[in-house]
Structure 1
């Protein structure tokens, strides 16, 4: 993967969108929204590149909250034509708790229709057939029913062989997996089918024992990832891309309000930056700028000052 072509692209993001309940500005009150890691990324990608065709692949229920979710996706300019409805399930829900800007989550997702998103292999194939970029995460895989996961990864590998750019964020949530060994093995299988891997060092250190971002990069390169960009909170973003390696130190964060969606928005900024600049370091700088704006506001989906990002 040498970069993303300039101009209008089609990006398909695959995963789960949930009902989000987050602390409101008034203490003791909650604000409802819709969010989820891969949905957050496609949302910010569309904000940054309104000229791109942005499609979300998931599954929802046939109830009102699911209809509201689909309506909001469409209002953001997303293509929801490949999202099917389940008559027996609904959408998942999560609650954010904040302490000094850092978030923790409680989830209710056993009933989530998104667990069935890969049940129809033909639908998955059709959804990504015209894609230039296909994006998914560790959470995407963790929620899938076990008998559909292998087929999903086969579809991803086939798409890469067909010349599509596959981007993957390991986004590890151990509680969603049967055990840590299964999680690690599946994460590495997904990375082996991907061009771009976008890990977060704190997770990689905790789950794989990496002693530094360079170890994370080497592990993913060893299975065939062409580009690895390691997010590291306020620390330097380390990368290996097209035979180059290095690091980019993000500008300091003015005020941390809510770290929800920091990595998801970074991913979107990286995609947009690679297409705009064709070079990795300015793409990382743009991605860091997007994340910096996002964590300075409450909630997973927030407005961006696009003019400030170009200065």
Structure 2
């Protein structure tokens, strides 16, 4: 999406961002040479879509997995900040990304060509219910073929038609995923989890092999099979400027560490440090 981030009174900086793209960007920065990162989505054929694709390529992210849709464009969002916490205004009714799962052959091709695929709850939320089901089914097929799948639940209630649909889709996608990255505060509201341990247990029961439960400035709870449970202290938030992309940067840094062989505790620690740096600056992509 096009991001407008406030830099002063009535002044904004334009850039490109979005939760899964942010994760890909941070993963690309953390991964060593020889690892390829690609972004699979739909964009338009207009000038802004061209500029977005060029930006991705310039950041080292492959764009041969983009699908172009005429008469559609890209979404836009504006960040508003109050005491470091962000809120968003969105314009994306005609976003091409909403048609991500409308071409099953393309979807199977891009997912099946990956070693690892990362999706989020926002990915699911912006799709029509039938398209949402197609995406989850395609993820399950890719996983059966040997692709590993991660899901950042990233729950945004305003994007969903209702809570029941949100719970059902996240549960179904969790069952098609190997690695889960939930945030306890969001899970507690939607699923009624009383503790981070309850969130971890629920996703373990869904079949996840790795679960990392983020909990703001509190301790991070992780579990993997067969290593078991670990607890990692979050990096203190000494100067929170903008929490945009805190979870996305955590996801990208964690996946880079995990996929290159770091043990669970080390991967969580690296991710927490990256996220702590991100919230100390404006915008989603902090260099």
Report the TM-score, using the length of structure 2 for normalisation: 0.96
**Residue 89 of structure 1: which of 65, 69, 72 is its match?**
72
**Residue 112 of structure 1: which of 71, 76, 95 is its match?**
95
In 2, the alpha carbon distance for the partners of 1:273 and 1:105 equals 30
Higher mean displacement: 272-281 or 86-95: 272-281
The residue correspondences of 1:246-257 to structure 2 (distance < 5 A) are 246-257=230-241
Q: Is 1:197 matched up with 2:180? A: yes
Shift of 1:277: 4.5
In 2, the alpha carbon distance for the partners of 1:59 and 1:50 equals 27
In 1, the alpha carbon distance for the partners of 2:270 and 2:51 equals 32
Counterpart secondary structure, 1:139 = helix
| RMSD, matched Cα | 1.2
Instruction: Give the 3 Å change call, closer, same or farther, for CA 279–50 of structure 1 in structure 2.
Output: closer
**Residue 20 of structure 2: which of 9, 34, 38 is its match?**
38
Tell me the equivalent position of 1:300: 284
Tell me the equivalent position of 1:8: none
Shift of 1:261: 0.2
Does the Cα contact within 8 Å between 2:112 and 2:145 map onto a contact in 1?
no
**Residue 215 of structure 2: which of 228, 232, 248 is its match?**
232
Does the Cα contact within 8 Å between 2:111 and 2:138 map onto a contact in 1?
no
Which runs of 5 or more residues in structure 2 are unaligned? none
The residue correspondences of 1:276-295 to structure 2 (distance < 5 A) are 276-295=260-279
Shift of 1:102: 0.7
Tell me the equivalent position of 2:127: 144
In 1, the alpha carbon distance for the partners of 2:26 and 2:70 equals 30
In 2, the alpha carbon distance for the partners of 1:111 and 1:166 equals 28
Tell me the equivalent position of 1:161: 144
In 1, the alpha carbon distance for the partners of 2:271 and 2:213 equals 12
Superposed CA offset, 1:169-200 (max 9, x none): 11111111111101101100000110000001
In 2, the alpha carbon distance for the partners of 1:89 and 1:266 equals 31
Counterpart secondary structure, 1:233 = coil
Superposed CA offset, 1:61-83 (max 9, x none): 11111111111001001111121
Report the TM-score, using the length of structure 1 for normalisation: 0.89
Shift of 1:50: 4.6
Report how many aligned residue pairs link the two structures.
Answer: 285
Superposed CA offset, 1:263-302 (max 9, x none): 0000111112223443100110000011011111110011
Counterpart secondary structure, 2:62 = coil
In 2, the alpha carbon distance for the partners of 1:301 and 1:70 equals 16
Counterpart secondary structure, 1:38 = helix
